[in-house]
A = this chain, B = another copy of it.
Amino acid sequence: MQQHYEALAKNAANYVPLSPLSFLSRASSIHSDRIAVVYEDLRRSWGETAARARAIATGLRALGLTKGDTVSVLCPNIPELFELHFAVPMSGAVLNTLNTRLEPETIAYILDHADTKLVIVDREFIPLLSQVFQRLGRSIPVVEINDPNAPSSETLGGRDFEDLAAAPIEPASFVGPASEWDAIALNYTSGTSGRPKGVVYHHRGAYLMALGTVAAWQMPHYPVYLSVVPMFHCNGWGHPWMMAILGGTKVFTRTPAPDRVLAAIRAHGVTHLGAAPIVLQMLAEHEDGGGDRFDPPIRVLTAGAPPPPSVLEKTKAMGFDVMQVYGLTETYGHISQCLWQEEWNEKHPAEQAQLQAQQGIAFPMVEDVTVLDNETGEGVPRDGETQGEIAIRGNTVMKGYYKDPDATRETFKDGWFWTGDAAVVQPDGYIQIRDRLKDVIISGGENISSVEVEAVLFRHPAVQAAAVVAKADPKWGEVPCAFVELRPDHQADEAEIISYCRANLSGFKTPKAVVFAELPKTSTGKIQKFQLRETVKAMKD
């Protein structure tokens, strides 16, 4: 009877807040001697990795960091960033990984908005960080990672990262969070408003993301995983935490340069990797039919944009077993997978490629990934035709946006997280994106807010009105294409507009084409972007 069940309370033996820190603790106990990290000549076991994470956590606390403080990190994929995925949450602080490709203004905005207390920077990015502090008008305490493989060796006079790692370990440092709902990471995304929004992850979600990915990707024990997807994107899709479950080896190359990546795959027997389609394409082009086919095939997850058929074809020939996954920063990364179906074996390669470009079906730790009519809130029929918006529910959906209650409320309408992606559902239940309701352009795996690019265009003295939409691109998936209405009696050509944007935006956000024309508007003056998208589709290069 219910009252007898209610008498049975949680205690330390039967209730532990879910946290990926538990996976590290287990790995350091049972996989202590297995290699966790391979980077150039460096090898570190899980025992050493756990000991370093504990020391760094202790060191961070000694610097005065406390629960809920933000630690921002400007760093490529190297072992230190991997260690920080455990050490920062272990200290109680929140990990804020920064996209190293952003412009100084945007990073300055993020550091300010995130209330960053400490920046940990790889020495390659010290010049960038100096510019950031200039824009910010103040500096923030810095810890510097002196990777001997980094191209630069300037200093901001910050403490050496290895001093932290050498801190004497506080035995009490290796404890999980008080609550599984506690924040573990803060990841800024390009929103439709043009201002990055701070997506907050909790320990519970990070734990379930990691364990659910093992099930969805059918992971074996001890994989050799190549770290390509930047850890500043959704914490590398949660894979750093997943590796601790499996006692696997993580191989680092610092950059995704194709020669380094391919050499590392061959040198270390890589079995798994995750990468954006653009990276896969670069690998295929670098290999260019040469090199032995990988056998057994390397298991690859790709996300950020549907992989083009040519990329699927070439990487298959190389021995890559590629599965597309779909998700957003707000969902800790991938929450649906385009799982291969046996009956696809018989199809024509072109049709296979089309099927593989679907967003697919839910990961096991997600409660629901579905397509809803956003007027009625009802699910659309499984007819492959009726469009609705992808909506998501589950424990790997963010806590909300940091210091942005309005945006949080808006995105959590009616018990769902609304993605802004318009999609259909096929009769087999596979979801397929048809259009994007929000103004985001995805170029080489990076999200670009069209509103942010438009804001720069509007600042140009000759521009009266501007709109930016995605243009299909064989290499980058999409690139920004600008439509510009000039002011009367003002002049500007494509080169002038592009050069103006380049001076004010990261390279990947700069429009690759500019069209001068009167912009189509609704009766209320709203620019009809769908018409511009049609124009772009009809354009010849």
Contact = CB atoms under 8 A, between A and B. Distances in A.
A30 B215 contact: no
A94 B5 CA distance: 10
Interface residues of A, number: 69
A402 B14 contact: no
A30 B361 contact: yes
Nearest to A204: B15
Interface stretch (A232-240, A387-395, A524-532): A387-395
A409 B515 CA distance: 75
A156 interface: no
A8 interface: yes
Contacts of A8: 200, 399-400, 402, 408
A16 B200 contact: no
Interface string A108-130: 00000001000000000000000
B395 A364 contact: no
Among A361, A364, A408, chain B packs the most CB atoms within 10 A around the CB of: A364
Contacts of A361: 29-30
Contacts of A218: 218-221
Given A5-B182, A215-B215, A397-B13, A364 B32 contact: no
How many copies the complex holds: the figure is 2
B26 A392 contact: no
Contacts of A13: 392-393, 397, 412, 415-417
A82 interface: no
Most buried by B among A2, A215, A362, A395: A215
A328 interface: no
Interface in A372-427: 392-395, 397-400, 402-403, 405, 408, 412, 415-417
Contact of A23 (B4, B94, B245, B364): B364
Contact of A398 (B14, B26, B362): B14
B367 A16 contact: yes
A246 interface: yes
A11 interface: yes
Contact of A14 (B12, B221, B399, B405): B399
Contacts of A30: 361-362, 429
A69 interface: yes
Contacts of A367: 16, 22, 25
A421 to B, nearest CB: 16
A300 B211 CA distance: 22
A172 to B, nearest CB: 15
A205 B8 CA distance: 14
A67 B200 contact: no
Nearest to A212: B211
A395 B2 contact: no
A329 to B, nearest CB: 14
B183 A5 contact: yes
Contacts of A498: none
A23 to B, nearest CB: 7
Contact of A11 (B9, B364, B415): B415
B68 A2 contact: yes
B415 A4 contact: no
A12 B7 CA distance: 27
A1 B68 contact: yes
A262 interface: no
Contact of A403 (B4, B26, B181, B408): B4
Interface in A436-486: none
A102 interface: no
Contact of A215 (B214, B339, B412): B214
A177 to B, nearest CB: 11
A26 B68 contact: no
B211 A364 contact: yes
A498 to B, nearest CB: 39
17 contacts: A1-B69, A1-B70, A5-B183, A7-B405, A8-B200, A8-B408, A11-B415, A12-B415, A12-B416, A14-B394, A14-B412, A14-B417, A26-B362, A211-B211, A211-B212, A215-B219, A218-B220
3 interchain residue pairs of minimum CB distance: A2-B68, A12-B415, A8-B400
